Amino acid sequence: MTDAISLAGYDLAPSRRHFLTFVAGAVAAPYVFLRPAEAASPFVMEPLPYGESDLAPTVSANTLGFHYGKHYKTYIDNINKLVAGSEFADAPLEKIIVETAGKADKTALFNNAGQAWNHAFYWKSLKPRGGGAPPAALAQKIDADFGSLDALKKELATAATSQFGSGWAWLALDGGKLKVVKTANADTPLASGKKPLLTIDVWEHAYYLDYQNRRADYVAAVIDKLLDWEFANANLG
């Protein structure tokens, strides 16, 4: 018997914050609301929390423009087409992800819902002049669960660079303990009941225009210069 869990929103605008309870795992998962307040309206693209050139030179405006305006837009467009007239017409992305995970006949729904959610979360995981030291609460948790910030960074870099093919590296909360996990393609820790705190996109479209095949250089630069530890800290609650 699974437990009902409450999903709390992280949206940029407090007026768009929403709460949902549905049957999933025993671990509370984050809820990013990607629709306007009106029911049954289409999913919309989360606005970038910075300008397209603000992450340069680590991530160029050219890369971010294509990533956000082409790839992310495609996932949003696709999920809107797929849910139209279906049982998921009014469902949030989290519900779609949890209820379609592992179901062969729902693969397209899972992939596009997962990628729409993952990208919205990725934009918020980065910030100009990021990196540095985490806030105190997160720093204490990192020391307790990894031994040091450097140990966490090394584990996160290893996950991001060793993910075979396309995917994601995550810092997540699993049963009260911080863990680094990696997922392939559109998969997300939400599908296995973990709570994401931040993520690094390692699909080639996230870095190839800037780094070509040098994924390790992209990952190292993102960790040192762009990760938003304040966002991760806020997600601990």
The pLDDT value given to residue 18: 28
Burial 69-102 (b: 16+ CB within 10 A, else e): eeebeebbebbbebbeeeebeebbbbbbbbbbbe
Contact present, 189 and 172 (Cβ < 8 Å): yes
| pLDDT under 70: residue ranges of the chain | 1-41
CA distances from 113 to 58, 95, 144, 168 (A): 27, 9, 34, 15
Q: How far is CA 1 from CA 26, 134, 231, in A?
A: 10, 37, 33
According to the model, what pLDDT value does residue 52 have? 96
In CATH terms, 136-234 corresponds, of 3.30.530.20, 3.40.50.620, 1.10.3470.10, 3.55.40.20, to 3.55.40.20
Q: What is the per-residue pLDDT for 27?
A: 33
Q: What is the pLDDT of residue 41?
A: 55
Q: Where are the domains of the chain?
A: 136-234
pTM, rounded to two decimals: 0.84
What is the structure's pLDDT at 42? 86
How confident is the model at residue 237, as a pLDDT? 81
